[in-house]
Chains A and B, each alone.
Chain A
Amino acid sequence: MLLFRSEEHAGMWRTARGFPDARTLSLETGWRLARAWYARKLEPDWRRHTVEEAEALFAELGLVDEFWRLR
């Protein structure tokens, strides 16, 4: 997951590097995703998200197409 100064630069990178299906996220969505994913990482009761939990989290953020499927 990389940062790009604009959608245009992200698109040029996709083409040059051969990842036509790469997806961009707004920083706001990326921040929400990071907080939901990692908020408990240093806590004693941390555990990995199940596939179902991860897909539900993606769905909450509107990330619902094939790209975000885990199975």
Chain B
Amino acid sequence: MIDPVAFDRDVRLTVAECIRERGAVPSLSELASRMGAADADVAASLGRLGAARALILRPGTSEILSFNPFAAGPTEFLVRAAGRDWSALCAWDAFGVAAALRADGVVLGRCADVCGVPLEVRLAGDAIGAIDGVVMQFALPAREWWKDIVFT
């Protein structure tokens, strides 16, 4: 009989281990293989972790879309940090990748307005390097973020 609390912690730590070791968010099958666990048990755990907002699942699947701030696939935000390239779902998460890795980083994105001009933000300790005037914008108030977290 699986203890869901302990098992969910193991799943979370295995995701983190994959991110640290090979710079990628694992698939369901990789997680199950690494843990020596059944796909169904890992899928159930991922569902619980998603409900607990520890991660975001691809809609209708048991695959991780983002172990926030680390996105599983290419996005509009590329982060160069700790010798690897990473993806993030939003600007906050892009900054969060460097924060979680405790590394300096470079965020490559675009102005979200119609101009789409490429933007580069350098994060180094307390210092920020970017062209003057660049800002981050939150469209929705904080209490609405998780109503549609992918949009947020």
Chain A 1-27 per-residue mask, 1 if CB under 8 angstroms from chain B, else 0: 111111101101110110101111111
Which interface residue of A1, A30, A68 has the most chain B CB atoms within 10 A? A1
Instruction: Return B37 CB to nearest CB of chain A, in Å.
Output: 18
Residues of the B chain whose Cβ atoms lie less than 8 Å from the Cβ of A46: 12
Residues of the A chain whose Cβ atoms lie less than 8 Å from the Cβ of B137: 1-4, 10, 13-14, 22-25
Residues of the A chain whose Cβ atoms lie less than 8 Å from the Cβ of B34: none
Interface SS of chain B: helix, strand, loop or mixed? mixed
B139, A17: Cβ atoms under 8 Å? yes
* Given A1-B91, A71-B143; 10 other pairs, CB 8 A cutoff: A12-B113, A16-B113, A22-B138, A24-B136, A31-B128, A35-B99, A38-B69, A41-B68, A41-B100, A67-B138
Name A's B-contacting residues (CB within 8 A).
Answer: 1-7, 9-10, 12-14, 16-17, 19, 21-28, 30-31, 33-35, 37-44, 46, 48, 54, 58, 66-71
Q: Which 4 pairs, one residue from A and one from B, show the smallest C-beta to C-beta distance? A: A34-B95, A38-B96, A2-B112, A9-B113
